[in-house]
Each structure stands twice: as C-alpha cells, then as structure tokens.
Structure 1
Amino acid sequence: MTNGGAPYNIVKNLRTMNVDFALLLIGLIGNDFNGKWIIDDCIKSNIDINQLEITSCTNGLLDEKYFNFSETNAKLFYLGPLTQLNRLDTFNNNDNKRTNASKVLENTLLHGLETIVDFSSGKNIDYSHIAKSSLPFIDHLIINETEAGLIFTKKHNK
C-alpha cells in the first residue's frame, strides 16, 4: 500500500492477510480528498474508524485524549513517526523526563497491546530525549541507522 502513512498501510496489509483480530485506526486524519478516500476505503475494508477524527494539521494536534484502549480487542498498537508528532513529543509539565507519547505507550501496554513505534529521520532538537523517553514502553522499534544515530546522539556519515 502506498497511501495514508504507515498506520493505514499496516492495517490495510493486515486486512489483506485476513488476520483474525480487530483492526482499527485511532487518531486524526486530514479533512481533504485523501483523508476522505482513506475513510471510505477503511469502511469498505471493515477497519474500525470510530476513534478517527477528521481535522486539519493532524500531526500537530494529535495528543493523549485521542487514545482510548478500554474497549478494544486489538492486539497491536502502532505509533509513528515520533519526533514529528508535536503534542505527543512534548514533555509533560509534571515530569520533564516523560513525553506525552511515552504515557500513551505505557497506557497501551497496561491494556495488553503490543507497541510498535517508528521514528522519522527529520530534525528535532530534542530527538534523543524524545526517543529515550518512549523506549521503555516500545515492544517493536522500527528505525534505520540514521535514526539510531540521532537517538544515541551519534553523527551518521553517508
């Protein structure tokens, strides 16, 4: 699949594989042609979109309030790309060692889901700090050598 980013691509591929567990998308989706196309495709593919909200500036607005795992039968939770999710990458006012994303991931684990996270190679002044905040709550991490270098503050030579 090549549309809608990694979360959409993964649920579509899992649907194509006829997995026997619930598939859903949680979060925000753009209020544009592509967003509407993805929603229509999810409905046709029997992918739950009850926790998907249509808005603009999706990466910039996504935060903890959009994630409710209390009534899901899902087994896996995919979050990404960290370091590009403005509010989730923000450090909590009460604990400057924890990002909002790390709290979402911890809550996900407490509800019995496996966590999968990917990072973007984009520039973020707090890249390493953001990543290290979430690492304890990640079951499966998807990164390349550039992102590994950014997490562990090493320069990557191309």
Structure 2
Amino acid sequence: MSNERRGILTGGTWCVDYNRSLSHWPAEDGLAELFEEERHGGGSSCNLALDIRQLDPSIPIETIGLVGNDGDGRYLREAAAKAGIDISQIAVTDAAATHFCNAYVSRTSHRRTHIFHAGTAALLTPDHFDFSATRMRYLHLGLPGVHRILDAPWKDEPNGWVAVLKQARASGLMTNLELASVEKGLMAALVAPCLPHLDFLIVNDLEIGAIAGVDTLRGDATDRDACEQAARAVLEKGAMKLVAVHCPSFALVVTRDGERTVLPSVAIPETEIMGANGAGDAFAAGMLYGIHESWSTNDSLSLAHACAAVSLRSVSTTGAIMSWRECLDLAQRWGFRPFL
C-alpha cells in the first residue's frame, strides 16, 4: 500500500518562535545587546513541513497539531495555508494559549537557547491524530518531552507517542521521530518504547548518545566512532531501516542491511552564519526528502548537509531554505569540511 502513497504528514509541535539575535548569551545578572527580533512558525511539525515545501513544492504536505484560538494560532494556520500545507487537522482550542518559544541566538557562538511556554502543546493527545483518510507516505512526528499528555502513559501504551506511531503504521504510514533538547534521562525513557514502531530515526550526536547510553563527546568535539557505536546500538533496539546522526562537522548513516555512509558537513563561510536555529529540522527535511524520492543514502545525506548549511543563513528556522537544487548548488560552491 505504501508504494501508492506520496507526500509527508507532520504531526506534533506547532509553535510560534520569537527569534532574537543577541551579541552573546549572558551569565545570570549579565547584559547582552539585542540586534534583531522576528516572529516565525516553529516546532518540528511546522519546520519540516515548510522546509519540504520550499525544497520541492510538488510534494504533498499534510499536518496535525493543536493551536489556541488567539493571534499566534491564527498566524500559524495562515502561514501554513499560504505555503500550501493541508491544515484540516490543525485543531483550535480555547483552553490554552498557542505554544510559543523565545529563541535566542548568540552572534558570538551561533548557539541557540530556547525558553518556551507549552500552552496548547500540553493538551495534544493521541485522539487528535486521525490517519484514516491520509494518502501521505511518511509521518514525521515530534517532540517528546514537550507535550505533557503524549509524554505520559496512554491507555495500555507506555506513552502517547507509542500510541500515535502504532496507529500511523497500522494505517500504512512509515514513521520518523524528531527529538527536542530535553534532559538525557527523560529523552531516553520516552524514546526507548518508540523504537520498535519507527522506520527511520534522524537525530543529532547528543540525542543518539542519550538514547544509547553512550558518551558521544570527547571534550568539546564529537566522537565519530562513538556516534556510530550508538547508532548501531539504537538500530538493533528498534525496527528502523536506517539511523542518521548529524553534528556540525559530519553526519553518518547506518542501515538495517549493513550500509554505512559518513560525509563531512558543508564548509559554509563564517560570514554567512546567522544562527543554528532550525538546522536540525533542515537536515531531517533534506534526508527525508531524499528517502521519499528514492535517492541513494549518499545523495540523501548530501542534501541533508546542504539544507542544514543553507538554513544557517537566517535566525529563523525556515527562512533561508531554497529548492533542493539550489541548496546542493550552494553547498558545492562552499565546499566541504575536511575529515579529521
């Protein structure tokens, strides 16, 4: 049945990002200068949907989420509809304000700091997800640790994420799970029972380490061998066809059939970088687009790197993404980092 399907369904986190560019991230009682402030859609469901739409407008996109009956909720729905995303399953409630996030990006380090108000995210349940009519091929779901009800046990399931994933696969969808930067122990506890119900897992170096219980950092640098060890351990615990791991310097993919691919990241000029907010979502969008289009693992990973690099040119999560051809062309022009 899945071979007859086309398109991507995103589900879970829709929030409004208030993106702020700072001189640096100050210590407590410190002072920093604010340079820019923008309002954009954010969250895993919003970001991947908008990224895929910009990579290739021909790909059908549907989404499922919950927003408030307020200005931020209307902003998200209007932005999604304007982009051509099917929003018929974005529910609206009067019970809470729309989930929002203050996203601070340091111009010194390019690192991001997120401070969020859960709002409607705390009210999203498995009952909001209806897969009966969709003809999409993939479900991109997130974010564990941010949605109170989905994070908790649901009926006979260990958490609501498992309930949603099982329902999606029973309806003919293949599944991917996006993660948030929550505490390592919480992340591992929420994700572990989801692994048998995933077809793909696309995560960063810290996330794969948390799930596997492997230290993937050596000082300030990512340990490539440790990332591969963690990816293989997680692959064995789940049903995934592949596990992809990314970090600023490289990315790797290990597959169920034994394939291993490692590629260095794009050498984007320092002068082009505005912030890393949304880079992980952009990487996932490039990887999932390549998978959707039946590209090779190497080509999918190359596009994922290109999308992540291109996204760094904006303080918003999706503002810099272009067509997939333009992303690859720009990455080729910048070149790639050397393997160390």
TM range (shorter): 0.7 to 0.9
Q: Does 1:19 align with 2:58?
A: yes
Structure 1 SS opposite 2:149: coil
Asked if the contact 1:83/1:124 (under 8 Å) is kept, the reply is no
Q: Distance in 1 between matches of 2:69 and 2:215?
A: 38
Q: Percent identity?
A: 28
Q: Does 1:144 align with 2:204?
A: yes
Q: Does 1:61 align with 2:123?
A: yes
Q: Distance in 2 between matches of 1:34 and 1:156?
A: 38
Structure 1 SS opposite 2:188: helix
Deviations 1:107-127 (A, max 9, x none): 111111121211112127543
Q: Does 1:29 align with 2:91?
A: no
Deviations 1:62-86 (A, max 9, x none): 1110000001122221111112221
Q: Distance in 1 between matches of 2:134 and 2:90?
A: 14
Q: Distance in 1 between matches of 2:200 and 2:58?
A: 19
Q: Report the Cα offset of residue 145 of structure 1.
A: 2.0
With a CA cutoff of 8 Å and minimum separation of 6, indicate the structure with the bigger relative contact order. 1
Q: Distance in 2 between matches of 1:28 and 1:40?
A: 14
Residues 1-158 of structure 1 aligned to structure 2 (within 5 Å): 3-16=41-54, 17-21=56-60, 23-55=61-93, 56=96, 57-95=119-157, 98-123=158-183, 125-154=185-214, 157=217, 158=220
Q: Kindly tell me: are residues 31 and 128 of structure 1, through their superposed partners in 2, closer, same or farther at Cα, counting changes over 3 Å?
A: same
Q: Distance in 2 between matches of 1:32 and 1:154?
A: 43
5+ residue gaps, structure 1, are: none
5+ residue gaps, structure 2, are: 1-39, 97-118, 221-340
What TM-score results when the alignment is normalised by the length of structure 1? Answer: 0.83
Q: Kindly tell me: are residues 72 and 128 of structure 1, through their superposed partners in 2, closer, same or farther at Cα, counting changes over 3 Å?
A: same
Q: Report the Cα offset of residue 31 of structure 1.
A: 4.0
Q: Kindly tell me: are residues 11 and 94 of structure 1, through their superposed partners in 2, closer, same or farther at Cα, counting changes over 3 Å?
A: closer
Q: Distance in 2 between matches of 1:31 and 1:116?
A: 29
Between 117-126 and 66-75, report the one with greater CA deviation: 117-126
RMSD between aligned alpha carbons? Answer: 2.2
The letter for the 1-side match of 2:152 is: T
The letter for the 1-side match of 2:144 is: L
Q: Kindly tell me: are residues 70 and 153 of structure 1, through their superposed partners in 2, closer, same or farther at Cα, counting changes over 3 Å?
A: same
Q: Distance in 1 between matches of 2:202 and 2:210?
A: 14
Deviations 1:51-109 (A, max 9, x none): 111243122111110000001122221111112221111123535xx222111101111
Q: Distance in 2 between matches of 1:3 and 1:145?
A: 25
Please identify the structure whose Cα radius of gyration is greater. Answer: 2
Deviations 1:9-39 (A, max 9, x none): 2222222312343x21112124443332221
Q: Kindly tell me: are residues 155 and 41 of structure 1, through their superposed partners in 2, closer, same or farther at Cα, counting changes over 3 Å?
A: same
Structure 2 SS opposite 1:91: coil
Give aligned pairs, total: 154
What TM-score results when the alignment is normalised by the length of structure 2? Answer: 0.42
The letter for the 2-side match of 1:34 is: D
